[in-house]
C-alpha cells in the first residue's frame, strides 16, 4: 500500500516536471504540414501536443469554459474579437518573438479590425470562402455555361435542383453562410440588423432541400472522392480536395472560385490563452511558426495564404502564383470581411440557421 502511494506521488511529480517542457497547440484540422511538428520538437526540445478542431464554436466553448490546457489556439478574427472582450487571451510580448519582422503589414492592417494593434494575436493563415466545383460533373448537369464562379450556382433554386443529383455541401458555419446570402441579395454582408438578416431566409430556404449536408470538414473528402459536385467551403480546403483528387487520379477535377459578387475574407489568428499552462513554450512555437521557411512549408502544404511577407519568396509557384490563394490587388478590393455579432443577434442568426438546416 505504502509503495503505491509513493509511486503515485512520483508519477504526479513526473507529470508536473514533464509539463514544463511541453506545448499544447489547438489548431484547425488539415491545417499544417505535419513534418513541421517534428521539426519543432527537434529544434527546441519542447514536446508538442497537437490537437485539432473543425469549428470556431467548439474552440470558443472550450475557451469560455476556462482551463482548456492549451498554450496556443487559432480562432478566426470575428471569434477572436469576442474572446478578447471576454478576457480569454493574454497580450503578446513581441520582444519574445524575434521573427515578428517577417509579418506582412497589409494583413496586419486588416486583422487590426478584430484585434486592435494586433496586441493579442498574429496571423497564421487567411483565405476566402467560396465555391468548390467538380467541373466535369457540374457542366454535365448544368451545361457548358454553368455559373461556376457566381453565387447563382448555389443560391438559385433552378441550379441547385439539378445539382442535387450529384450532391452539394454547405459549410455548417452561419457566420459565413449568412453574410454570403446577404451579399447575394445585395445587402451589407456585415449587417447586424435582425430584419435584414431575416431576408436571407427566403434565399437559403429555397435551396435547402437540395443541400445534402451542412458540414465544415467532410466536404474535402467528399469533393475529392466525387461524392459531391459542389461545396460552399474554405479556399484552401477545396484546393486540398483538388490535390487529393489529382493524387488519386480518379478522373475528378476540382476548381476553387471565389464568387464574383464578392467573397468573404477571413483570418485565422494564433493567440495565447490567459491561463496557458506554459506561455514560454507557446512563444517558442509562435516564433517557430513565424519563421519564413516554416510558414512557407505550411502554406505550400495547405494551400492557404499566410500573413508572413518574408515567406512569399519561398512559396511554390502554384501557391503564390494562384490568384485563388493570393488574389490580385483588384480582386482583394472585391473581398469583404465581417465582425462579431452581439449575443442577441447571434441568437437570431443561430435560430435562422437551425431553421434552414432542419426546416423547423
Partner 1 sequence: MNLRRVTLIALPYLWLLGFFLVPFLIVLKIALSDTAVAIPPYTPTLDLSGGWAAIRDFFGQLDFENFTWLTEDELYWKSYLSSVRIAAISTFITLLVGYPIAYAMAQSPDEWRPTLMMLVILPFWTSFLIRVYAWIGILSNEGFLNQFLLWTGLIDTPLTIMNTTTAVYVGIVYTYLPFMILPIYAALEKLDGSLIEAAEDLGCSRLSAFWLVTLPLSRPGVIAGCFLVFIPALGEFVIPSLLGGSQTLMIGKVLWEEFFSNRDWPVASAVAVVLLLLLIIPIVLFQKNQQRQQEAEQ
Closest approach, Cβ 55 to partner 1, in A, equals 7
Which residue stretch of 17-25, 40-48, 240-248, 349-357 sits at the interface with partner 1 (rule: CB under 8 A)? 349-357
Of 135-143, 183-191, 322-330, 351-359, the segment contacting partner 1 by CB under 8 A is 351-359
Q: Looking at 130, 226, 258, 327, which residue binds partner 1 (CB under 8 A)?
A: 226
Rounded to 5 degrees, φ, ψ at 132 are -100, 125
CB of 240 to partner 1, least distance (A): 19
Q: Cβ(322)–Cβ(338) under 8 Å?
A: no
Are 75 and 114 within 8 A, CB to CB? no
Could you give the string, one character per residue 46-65, with x where binding to partner 1 holds by CB under 8 A and - elsewhere? ---------x-xx-xx-xxx
**What would the x/- binding string for partner 1 be over residues 232 to 271, using CB under 8 A?**
----------------------------------------
b/e burial code for range 338-350 (CB count within 10 A of at least 16 → b): bebbeeeeeebbe
Rounded distance, CA 330 to CA 77, Å?
23
Q: Does 339 bind partner 1 (CB under 8 A)?
A: no
- CB nearer partner 1, residue 170 or residue 303: 170
Q: Where in the chain does DSSP place strands (E)?
A: 22-28, 47-53, 72-73, 121-134, 168-170, 213-214, 230-234, 254-257, 263-271, 305-306, 335-336
Which of 25, 103, 154, 211 lies at the binding interface for partner 1 (CB under 8 A)?
A: 211
Distance, CA of 139 to CA of 153 (rounded, Å): 11
Tell me whether residue 224 or residue 315 sits nearer to partner 1 (CB atom): 224
Task: Give, in degrees to the nearest 5, the angle at Cα 151 between 149 and 155.
Answer: 140
Tell whether residue 213 is a contact of partner 1 (CB under 8 A).
yes
Of the candidate residues 12, 87, 158, 253, the single one contacting partner 1 (CB under 8 A): 87
Size of the site for partner 1 (CB under 8 A): 36
- In whole angstroms, give the CA distance from residue 217 to residue 245: 16
Which residue in the set 32, 80, 88, 263 belongs to the binding site for partner 1 (CB under 8 A)?
88
Q: Would you say 149 and 133 are in contact if contact means Cβ atoms under 8 Å apart?
A: no
CB of 207 to partner 1, least distance (A): 12
- Closer residue to partner 1, CB minimum distance, 334 or 346: 346
Print the SS3 string covering 28-57: ECCCCCCHHHHHHHHHHCCEEEEEEECCHH
Q: Give 241-278 as a DSSP string.
A: HHHHHHHHTSS--EEEE--TT-EEEEEEEEE-BTT-S-
Is 351 one of the binding residues for partner 1 (CB under 8 A)? yes
Residues forming contacts to partner 1 in the complex (CB under 8 A) are 55, 57-58, 60-61, 63-66, 82, 85-88, 167, 174, 208, 211-214, 225-227, 343, 346-347, 350-351, 353-355, 357-360
Amino acid at each position: 500500500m505504502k509503495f503505491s502511494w509513493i509511486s503515485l506521488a512520483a508519477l504526479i511529480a513526473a507529470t508536473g516536471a514533464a509539463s514544463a517542457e511541453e506545448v499544447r497547440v489547438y489548431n484547425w484540422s488539415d491545417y499544417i504540414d505535419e513534418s513541421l511538428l517534428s521539426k519543432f520538437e527537434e529544434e527546441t526540445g519542447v514536446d508538442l501536443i497537437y490537437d485539432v478542431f473543425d469549428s470556431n464554436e467548439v474552440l470558443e466553448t472550450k475557451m469560455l469554459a476556462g482551463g482548456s490546457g492549451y498554450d496556443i489556439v487559432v480562432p478566426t478574427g470575428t471569434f477572436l474579437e469576442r474572446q478578447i472582450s471576454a478576457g480569454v487571451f493574454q497580450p503578446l510580448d513581441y520582444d519574445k518573438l524575434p521573427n515578428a519582422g517577417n509579418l506582412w503589414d497589409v494583413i496586419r492592417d486588416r486583422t487590426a479590425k478584430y484585434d486592435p494593434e494586433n496586441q493579442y494575436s498574429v496571423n497564421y493563415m487567411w483565405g476566402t470562402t467560396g465555391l468548390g466545383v467538380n467541373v466535369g460533373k457540374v457542366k454535365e448537369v448544368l451545361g457548358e455555361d454553368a455559373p461556376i464562379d457566381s453565387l447563382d450556382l448555389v443560391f438559385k433554386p433552378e441550379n441547385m435542383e439539378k445539382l442535387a443529383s450529384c450532391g452539394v455541401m454547405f459549410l455548417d458555419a452561419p457566420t459565413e453562410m449568412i453574410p454570403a446570402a446577404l451579399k447575394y441579395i445585395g445587402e451589407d454582408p456585415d449587417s447586424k440588423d435582425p430584419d435584414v438578416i431575416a431576408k436571407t431566409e427566403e434565399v437559403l430556404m429555397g435551396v435547402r432541400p437540395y443541400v445534402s449536408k451542412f458540414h465544415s470538414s467532410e466536404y474535402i473528402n467528399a469533393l475529392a472522392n466525387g461524392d459531391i459536385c459542389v461545396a460552399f467551403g474554405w479556399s484552401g480546403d477545396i484546393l486540398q480536395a483538388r490535390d487529393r483528387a489529382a493524387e488519386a487520379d480518379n478522373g475528378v477535377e476540382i476548381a476553387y472560385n471565389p464568387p464574383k459578387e464578392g467573397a468573404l475574407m477571413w483570418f485565422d489568428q494564433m493567440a495565447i490563452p490567459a491561463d496557458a499552462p506554459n506561455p514560454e513554450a507557446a512563444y517558442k512555437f509562435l516564433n517557430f511558426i513565424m519563421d519564413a521557411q516554416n510558414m512557407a512549408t505550411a502554406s505550400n502544404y495547405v494551400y492557404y495564404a499566410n500573413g508572413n511577407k518574408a515567406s512569399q519568396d519561398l512559396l511554390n509557384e502554384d501557391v503564390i502564383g494562384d490568384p485563388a490563394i493570393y488574389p490580385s490587388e483588384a480582386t482583394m478590393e472585391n473581398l469583404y470581411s465581417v465582425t462579431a455579432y452581439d449575443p442577441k443577434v447571434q441568437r437570431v442568426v443561430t435560430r435562422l440557421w437551425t431553421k434552414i438546416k432542419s426546416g423547423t
